[in-house]
Structures are given as C-alpha cells and as structure tokens.
Structure 1
Amino acid sequence: MSDIEFKFNGLDEIMEEFKEAERKVPDVSEKVLKKGMNKARKLSKEKHNGKTGRKHINSSYKILPIEFESDGMNIKMTNTRPNFHLVERGHRLVTKNGKEIGFVQGKHMVERSMEEMEEEFPKMLKKEIKKILK
C-alpha cells in the first residue's frame, strides 16, 4: 500500500470559529474531515489520465477511519494497488537484461489533488462553520 500524507497550513484563523461550531455540533469536525477527504479522492480519480489500469487504480482508493490524537484528528487515503506508487511517482524502464532504457514520468494524481485541496479545504470549512453558526 502506498500512503501519502499532507498537512494543511494556514487554518489557524479559522480554528477559533471552528471550535465554537464544534461546541454546538460535536460531529462537525468528523463530517468536514470526511467530506474533504472524499473530495480529495474524487480529484485524484479525475487527475489520472492514463490509458491503462485507470479503472483498477481509481477503484482502489480507500479512505481509512479517522484516528483521534491528542492534538486533533487524522484521516488517511491509500491506494491498495501494488503498482500505484509507480504510476504516482514514476519508474525506470528496464530491459530483460537489466539495461535501463528510459524513465516513465509519474502522474502525481494525489499530489496535485492535495495541492488543490489546500486551497479548497479552508473554503469548505468556512462554509460548514457558517451553516452551524447561523
């Protein structure tokens, strides 16, 4: 399994409002986290433009259960395909004799979708907070 972990920075100003909303509705943090990860999974599937193996890689994205820690919550997305890391990061092309004949560039589907989510997640968070604090 290939795990890629990202952390979002710049959410400090939103956290006070979020804590207020969480006091009113305790499940809001889990809901927003799951919604954000589902969006990231959807974006990762859209970013894979390969001709072969697309169906298998796209159907193998799994979102693991939320882990509660002392400083907050964690949620992880993984892909169960054994060749996922090769498609994501790229790989060497090697002949039967072991001679390297080239390199296949990675698609970086998850990396690009997480970069996109860095901009979109704070917006999703603000939207949920506004719904609750009304």
Structure 2
Amino acid sequence: MNKELFEKGLEVRRSVVGETYVEASLKNADEFSMPMQELVTEFCWGEVWSRPGLDRRSRSILNLGMIAALNRPEEFAVHVRGAINNDVTKEEIRECLLQIAVYVGMPAGLGSFKIARQVFKEMGI
C-alpha cells in the first residue's frame, strides 16, 4: 500500500462521502475486508479522485450515471450524498436521473429517483 496515496484518498473520501460513512467503513472492516477498504481509498480516492483533470462536482455527476447503470443502490445512495457535498444541486441530480432513465432504462431511473428521494429526506433537503 502506498501510504501517501492512502492518506490523500482518505482526505478526499471523507470530504466527498462524509466522515461518518468513511469511519464506519474502516471500523467495520475485518482482516478479510480491510484490503478492499485500503484499495478503494488509495486507488479510487487517492489516485483518481485527486487528479486535476476533472473537478469533484463533475466526477460526482459521472458517478451517478455509472453507478445507476451498474444497479448498485447502496453505492448510489452514498454518491447522491457525495454529489450534494460536491455542490451538485437537487435539481441537477434530478436532471441526471432523467438522463439515466432515458439511456439506461426506466427501472434504473425509477430506482434512482427512489433512492435519491430517501437520501434527500435523510439530509433534510
């Protein structure tokens, strides 16, 4: 593990998806799953999310589409929160979800709206 990238990734990950989520993910990791937490923190957050080519807002918008297309509802909820943290508005998220429905399919769009509404409710938005 590259400790420098891990620390950088930890900072970005906390900023985007929140301290509570990240700490719970690390705390709940065991000997079996900790290497995955290290990999995602180092590679995804430290290496890719830290690159200068796209801002975090743009990366959040991309993630909404990709994660919805992959039908990963738990991760989708995390990234709706991340998008809000990265200054994507509720209205912009709605437009992303309409785009998802057209290109990925109505079930993905409907499911994404349901998840986003729940996240907005939890966040008081």
**Structure in which a larger fraction of residues adopt helix:** 2
Is the strand fraction higher in 1 or 2?
Answer: 1
Structure of higher CA gyration radius: 1
Mark yes or no: TM-score above 0.5: no
Q: TM-score, normalised by structure 2?
A: 0.25
Q: Taking CA–CA contacts closer than 8 Å with sequence separation of 6 or more, which of the two structures ends up with the larger relative contact order?
A: 1
TM normalised by structure 1 equals 0.24
